Every structure is written in structure tokens, then in C-alpha cells.
Amino acid sequence: MGGSQAPIGVLALQGDVAEHRRMLESLGAPVVEIRQCKDVTGIAGLVIPGGESTVMDKLTRIFGLYAPLRDLIAQGMPVLGTCAGMIMLADRLDDAISGQQTLGGLDVTVKRNAFGSQKESFDVALNVDDIDGGPVDVSFIRAPIVTHVGAGVRVLATLPTGEVVACEGENILALAFHPEVTGDTRLHERFLDIVAREQFQADIHCES
């Protein structure tokens, strides 16, 4: 696992922010919660947590974060997206609501809420490519799935029924599930390795 002196930003407008923060800090990574544009300056990578993707989309635009984050992702900033975070990183959605936008950056198509309502949530031990130590314990909570994978995107995990639930672009790790809920740190360690490799530092201009 790698590390970085520059902080990891966790998008903190909505969703399971605290769980990601605790896991990253347990691995020795400094963390800053991102609520407005000025919080983004200097971060080495970004985590987009689970939550409600439509609400997250609206709030990024209300708080002036949509354009800066989209630009930084396009520039190659390392990003980990879990559940709603995967939806936010997809270039395309199968079932977007009217007016819904994503930050994009990952050449995939995603279907939101592919497993139904909250009561259809489940935990599973999932085999993930390039993760040592056996299956990863994860939670699926109103989870999406990837329905199309574009060039340059690698599938890391599928369910036994074939649905793609984890994939990786050059600097993006997108997961349909929640490793931060079950406490397995290995995917966050993988993300921190990407951060350490890329040595990215966000430099943006915020509108006053």
C-alpha cells in the first residue's frame, strides 16, 4: 500500500462520509471533507461515497463543485467511487431521471438501483481481481451494476449471476458495493496505491 502527504478528499455533501473517513485515516491517510470548491485545492485523490446519486448530483451543482470535480477527474485525479459514487463516475446511465448528470470519467454504462429497494440489500464475500487474501466482504445496498464496459476499463469483479460490480480505469476505481461498511480495508489500500503512484495535486480556480 502507498500513501500521500497531500490529503484525500471525501465528497461530503451526502452519503456515508464518516465510514470512508475512518477507513482512510486508519490506513494513515490524511482526509479533508469536500463541501465547497475551496476544499478541493491540494487534494491528491477523491472518494465519492455511497448515498443517493440524484441528490448528490444536484448538490454538486448547487455548491459549485460539479465543474471543478469533472475537470479534475478528466485531468487524471485518482478517484474511488462506491455505489452512488460509481453512478457519479459513469459516462452513461441506463436509467437516469430527467435532468440527472454525472461527473463522468469512466467509460461505462451503469444501471441505478439494479437490485431493487433497500430491503433487497445483501452482504457477500466477493472475489476481486488483484486483491490478495481471499474474497472481500462487502455490502450491496440499493446497488447499481455496470451494463456496458468501454475500451480501457477493466472488470475487477462480477457476481455469480454475471453482473459487473467492480471496474477500474486508469485512475478510477468504481465499486457497486460498500467495503467501508464491512470494514475490509483492501480496496481502500488499492486506491491509496493509485494515489501514491500518480502523485496528483489538485490546482483549481474557484469562483468567488
Structural domain boundaries in the chain? 8-198
On the CB side of 51, CA atoms within 13 Å amount to 24
60 grid coordinates:
454538486
Q: What gap in Å lies between CA 33 and CA 13, rounded to an integer?
A: 9
User: Which one-letter amino acid corresponds to residue 170?
Assistant: E
The residues assigned a catalytic role are 83, 178, 180
Amino acid identity of residue 181, one-letter, is V
The strand pair at 172-175 and 8-11 is best described as: unpaired
Q: Label residue 2 by pLDDT band (50, 70, 90).
A: very low
Per-residue pLDDT tens digits for 118-128: 545 788 899 99
pLDDT tens, 155-174?
999 998 899 999 999 999 99
* pTM for the model: 0.93
Nearest alpha-carbon partner for 47 in 5, 18, 68: 18
Taking the alpha carbons at both ends of the chain, their separation in whole angstroms is 38
CATH architecture label of 8-198: 3-Layer(aba) Sandwich (3.40)
Bigger pLDDT: 208 vs 6 = 6
pLDDT band at 80 (very low <50, low <70, confident <90, very high): very high
pLDDT tens profile 171-201: 999 999 989 988 899 999 999 999 999 999 9
Return the DSSP state at 19: H
Average pLDDT of the chain, as a whole number = 91
Q: Percent of the chain having pLDDT more than 90?
A: 76
